[in-house]
Structure 1
């Protein structure tokens, strides 16, 4: 395993700080709205929205994986060196 350079350590510390700040902010927001009740329609909308977001995200990742494996996106890369067709 390579030793971590100064740049990687700085990036790791910055990302950890961003994650911590985001977590503290989310907890403070959730504590601020804890007295608000959500109706059954709200829970249904939240569940359906989460479910369909996951379905769309996973579906697009699967399509990207299949496209990469079958070589469909090779022609779309303008920086890749083109090899002449073998005969």
Structure 2
């Protein structure tokens, strides 16, 4: 197995720092809004919105992979080299 290079380690470190900063920011925002009260209807709407967003996202990703495997995307590739016309 090949060891990661210095560039890959630098990118990994930057992404890790971004993840930590985002997590700290999310916790601080969550704690700042601690006094906000959400009704039962709000929790239901939040749960349904999350569920259907994930469902649609996973469904579209599955369609993308199935389309790619079945060859339907080949005709829409503008960078594919085409054979010259015979004649």
Q: Which runs of 5+ in 1 are unaligned?
A: none
> 1:33 deviation in Å?
1.1
Matching residue of 1:6: 6
Q: TM-score, normalised by structure 1?
A: 0.88
Range with greater deviation from structure 2 (74-83 or 60-69): 74-83
Whole-angstrom distance in 2 between the partners of 1:44 and 1:83: 56
Question: Distance between the aligned counterparts of 2:74 and 2:48, measured in 1?
Answer: 36
SS in 2 for 1:75: helix
Q: Where does structure 2 lack aligned partners over 5 or more consecutive residues?
A: none
| 1:83 CA displacement | 5.9
Report the TM-score when normalising by structure 2.
Answer: 0.88
Root mean square deviation, CA, Å: 1.5
* Structure 1 segment 48-67 matched on structure 2, within 5 A: 48-67=48-67
d(CA) in 2 for partners of 1:70, 1:36: 49
Mapped partners of 2:51, 2:27: distance in 1: 23
Instruction: Provide runs of 4+ in structure 1 moved above 2 Å.
Output: 80-84
Partner of 1:68: 68
Aligned to 1:33: 33
